[in-house]
Structure 1
Amino acid sequence: MDVHGRELRYFVTVAEELHFTRAAERLFVSQPALSKQIRMLERTLGVSLFERDRRGVALTRAGAALLPYAQRVLAEWQTGWKAVEAVRAAQRAGLVVGMSSSPGRDGLLPAIRSRVTAEHPEAVLKIRQFSWDDSTAGLADGTSDVAFVWLPLPEPERYRWTVVAQEPRHVALPETHRLARYVTVDFADLLDEPFLALPKSAGPLRDYWLATDARAGREPVIGAEVSSSEETYEALVGGQGVCLLADGNAPLLMRGGVVTRPVPGLSPSRLAVARRADDDRQLVHAYMRAANGAAGD
């Protein structure tokens, strides 16, 4: 038996008003059109829902029995419609994609974007740059919805991620540095060098780029703290220290006066796309799927 939501809405309105003219005005339809819809519903159900006489309109026993269920169906539909509208609004608002520097990596960002918009053409993706002070690129305080981040993350239980690039670590040096003439540089030869460090607020990522796990307990010498690729470049050419970086980020610093060399033996760096663990929005999951797919291409 097929009953349309419009027929139930018309029935409930007449039942609440007990007056066809007032119900028609409330529904913004003509009274004859309303009467026709009620008759169609009665034919579908095989019972009369209203008694009509000179004194007015009253519910029949069948109408009174149907009314609470019809009201419940309409209320549930309204709740469902609001839930769908909330999803649509979230999709229209789009996602803020956080990053501390461009992901690069053979068009990774546009590849992910094209996959997301193919699945959700209405989605708006907004890129937001963050300082290296925040190693979560806005995820921690909610100013980004998904983010390109370097692992490890602070409080990893708060996040879910997919690795999109895994690259060897290099060292960036002033081109006049004593080690710049070598094809590769042993980390042992860097132990006494002053290092450029991320801010302490970067948490475990600061230790990772200082390679503290490869120092056998020796404390690193900090030449300066840096919060961006521009600051890093200026500190390098100014002779304030050296720094480790991912192979794919070498072009950010090689602008004259700086060289990079592989450092064998160090664990590879991992670039990931991450989300908050408790964020189950459809568009967030679509971005994560797209990142995983693009990384596998």
Structure 2
Amino acid sequence: MDVHVRDLRYFLAVAEELSFTRAARERLFISQPALSKQIRLLESTLRVALFERDRRSVALTAAGRELLPRARALVAEWDAARRAVVEAASGPTLTVGFHTRIGRGLIPAVTARVARRLPGLRLRFRQVPWHDPAVGLRDGGVDVAVAWLPVPDSGELSWRVVATEDRWVALPRGHRLAAFERVPFAELVDEPFIALPAGAGPLRAFWLADDHRGEPARVAAEVSTADEAFEAVASGLGVVLLSAGNAEEHRRDDVVYRPVPELSPGSLAVVWRTGDEREAVRVFVEAGAGG
């Protein structure tokens, strides 16, 4: 039986994290039992043990260490082949991932700069749910992303900040704090919050303002997209933090937006896979940064 590229991605996630739990939740967004089952099937297909496991640790076997660089090379080669096939069918294409509306006039400006430097390159945009903190870059479906920091800081991703914005709060119209011009964070600490999914990792913590809390936030609901978040706020389920620019991008009659001055600002960045030296990626990054 042949091994699927997906199986190699699963193996790489566990090998690099040395944790089935982290690999399942933070890299692959599947359940740990499902991941363990797939690894066992891979080991059965290869007729070798790839990991030594006990209750406290996971380590690569000699066979696993041998497979690791080859699996990386195979996955990279497949991703390159997939990109080449797409480009052969539709011309040079760069897929740009994002979680929320980019706005801010950024994309028209970047598109114009890219067109001047790489005529014929087509930009394609893909919205990625928040449960993928790498904005599609890990699975190869995205070439470059425009995303809010933090993204996973494992060394596999690089980024350049393109905008810094204050954090605001979205409140249902009629909320007791809607009359404030600015909302002190102390007034929000005990409010129910709308949260990003647990898989969003450090990004979820940032938009719950965990860095300004003594106790965990009271989470009323989890959402996968910005539209879901604002529907939850409008319905009165809770409040949500967002950037000042996104407050402008997502204006609606049933939601009120107010600045929260004590909170540190958020950073919007262009993100790419570390080591991806393709000219199209470099040009997009430089264009996004105003180059």
Task: Report the TM-score range of the alignment, normalised by the length of the smaller protein.
Answer: 0.5 to 0.7
Structure 2 segments unaligned to the other structure (5+ residues): 1-83
**Structure 2 counterparts to residues 238-253 of structure 1, below 5 A:** 238-253=235-250
Instruction: Give the Å deviation of 1:100.
Output: 1.6
Match of 1:172 among 159, 170, 173: 170
Instruction: Give the Å deviation of 1:93.
Output: 3.0
Match of 2:253 among 222, 235, 256: 256
- Give the alignment's TM-score, normalised by structure 1: 0.66
Which residue in 2 is equivalent to 1:293? 290
Question: What secondary structure sits across from 1:289 in the alignment?
Answer: helix
Question: What secondary structure sits across from 2:183 in the alignment?
Answer: coil
Which residue in 2 is equivalent to 1:140? 138
In structure 2, distance between residues paired with 1:135 and 1:245 = 16
In structure 1, distance between residues paired with 2:221 and 2:129 = 16
In structure 2, distance between residues paired with 1:99 and 1:292 = 16
In structure 2, distance between residues paired with 1:200 and 1:231 = 16
Match of 1:111 among 86, 109, 112: 109
Identity of aligned residues (%): 48
Which residue in 2 is equivalent to 1:185? 183
1:53-100 deviations in Å (ceiling 9; x for gaps): xxxxxxxxxxxxxxxxxxxxxxxxxxxxxxxx99x9699331101112
In structure 2, distance between residues paired with 1:119 and 1:126 = 17
In structure 1, distance between residues paired with 2:174 and 2:89 = 52
**Structure 2 counterparts to residues 73-84 of structure 1, below 5 A:** none
Question: What secondary structure sits across from 1:157 in the alignment?
Answer: coil
Preserved CA contact (<8 Å) 2:136 2:142: yes
Instruction: Give the Å deviation of 1:204.
Output: 0.3
- Check 1:285–1:90 CA distance in 2 against 1; reply closer, same or farther (3 A cut): farther
Question: What secondary structure sits across from 2:168 in the alignment?
Answer: strand
In structure 2, distance between residues paired with 1:219 and 1:269 = 20
Instruction: Give the Å deviation of 1:102.
Output: 2.1
Match of 2:217 among 197, 220, 223: 220
In structure 1, distance between residues paired with 2:204 and 2:89 = 34
Question: What secondary structure sits across from 2:206 in the alignment?
Answer: helix
| Amino acid in structure 1 at the alignment position of 2:267 | R
Asked if 1:130 is matched to 2:134, the reply is no
In structure 1, distance between residues paired with 2:153 and 2:166 = 24
| Amino acid in structure 2 at the alignment position of 1:96 | T
Asked if 1:208 is matched to 2:206, the reply is yes
Which residue in 2 is equivalent to 1:235? 232
Aligned length: 207
Higher Rg of the two aligned structures: 1
Question: What secondary structure sits across from 1:153 in the alignment?
Answer: coil
| Amino acid in structure 1 at the alignment position of 2:113 | R
1:122-157 deviations in Å (ceiling 9; x for gaps): 211111111122232211211100001110011342
- Give the alignment's TM-score, normalised by structure 2: 0.68
Preserved CA contact (<8 Å) 1:148 1:274: yes
Match of 2:262 among 250, 265, 269: 265
Preserved CA contact (<8 Å) 1:135 1:150: no
